[in-house]
Amino acid sequence: MSKPPVLSLALPSDTGRVLSIQSHTVQGYVGNKSAVFPLQLLGYDVDPINSVQFSNHTGYPTFKGQVLNGEQLWDLIEGLEANDLLFYTHLLTGYIGSVSFLNTILEVINKLRSINPNLTYVCDPVMGDEGKLYVPEELVHVYREKVVPLASMLTPNQFEAEKLTGLRINSEEDGREACAILHAAGPSKVVITSITIGGILLLIGSHQKEKGLKPEQFKILIHKLPAYFTGTGDLMTALLLGWSNKYPDNLDKAAELAVSTLQALLRRTLDDYKQAGYDPTSSSLEIRLIQSQDEIRNPNVELKAERYS
């Protein structure tokens, strides 16, 4: 008997087939737990590879679990290839904790592009935040020199954009310049997902539609909520992948949809913790992902992009 076709390949969705390589927690929503479900709701077939499997995220007093190494990652890729299952439209990567694993990611990108030269690689270069690195310093060099040139879209936060460009971001103009530096290195789409300037929180996005052309740049002012949430960066990058693929020439519209979704979800999370009688300012909060599926599917755009001239 012949084997049945893989329907996500034989009858692909209008959106795409995503390979997502990120962390996984049994409880809570970070990494793949935060990214896979929203992408599926937006119509994507998503195949997750879990770079770690932990009981819970590392902000808890304790956690236990396993870490996938580069050799084990490559075993999975070879298994997919042996069964002709390696055709993907998108690759999504998030937190990666070691140079060896990141180097294997580079091999994965090359392998996937040998099968589909039009692969879109969306990279969230998770390295740190608010002036603090939480990966080994040598990862910064690998991201800057090897990973960024291969990315189609890059979604750093302010600190990560500074580490990748060597530029201090103290103004909107600095943020726009950082995007231009990153375009020159490789990716046509750059979204600095959170920048704080003078107490104001904003996103700066930039789309260079052709090499050598001036990029189209915009900002979105973001409401700062009185709490700290886990998994928001992973969710934001997944939403940017999902919506930018639906609106490939309108990164500002994709960002509006992504930011508005995230804000609605965070407000729901905040309200639910308050309803449970918990002070949301006392620790990091687990996001209410499942309860927000209507907002993920059909976001109400409340936060609008403002284009720079």
Helix (H, G, I), strand (E, B) or coil at 153: strand
pLDDT in tens, 15-28: 899 999 999 999 99
- 14 is an active site residue: no
d(CA 51, CA 35): 14
Q: And the tokens for 130? A: 């608010």
pLDDT in tens, 121-148: 999 999 999 888 988 999 999 999 999 9
Q: What does the pLDDT average to over 285-301?
A: 96
Q: How confident is the model at residue 1 (pLDDT cuts 50, 70, 90)?
A: low
d(CA 40, CA 191): 22
pLDDT confidence of residue 4: 85
* Catalytic residue of the set 234, 252, 279, 294: 234
User: Closest Cα partner for 208 from 159, 166, 154?
Assistant: 154
Q: And the tokens for 296? A: 């993920």
d(CA 298, CA 300): 7
Number of alpha carbons in the 13 Å side-chain half-sphere of residue 117: 0
Averaged pLDDT score across all residues of the chain: 95
The correct CATH number of 15-307 out of 1.10.8.100, 3.10.100.10, 3.40.1190.20, 3.40.50.11310 is 3.40.1190.20
User: Closest Cα partner for 265 from 229, 303, 240, 304?
Assistant: 229
pLDDT confidence of residue 14: 82
Q: How confident is the model at residue 53 (pLDDT cuts 50, 70, 90)?
A: very high
Q: Are 46 and 18 in contact (CB under 8 A)?
A: yes
Q: Are 152 and 188 in contact (CB under 8 A)?
A: yes
d(CA 260, CA 75): 39
Other CB atoms within 10 A of residue 244 CB: 25
**Low-confidence winner among 88-92, 167-171, 211-215 (lowest mean pLDDT):** 211-215
Number of alpha carbons in the 13 Å side-chain half-sphere of residue 263: 23
Other CB atoms within 10 A of residue 25 CB: 25
Placement of tokens 């971001």 in the chain: 169
What are the boundaries of each domain within the chain? 15-307
User: Closest Cα partner for 306 from 219, 221, 223, 247?
Assistant: 219
Answer whether 0.75 is exceeded by the pTM: yes
Residue 58: is its pLDDT beyond 90?
no
pLDDT in tens, 180-195: 999 999 999 999 999 9
User: Closest Cα partner for 97 from 161, 31, 17?
Assistant: 31
pLDDT confidence of residue 221: 98
d(CA 214, CA 164): 21
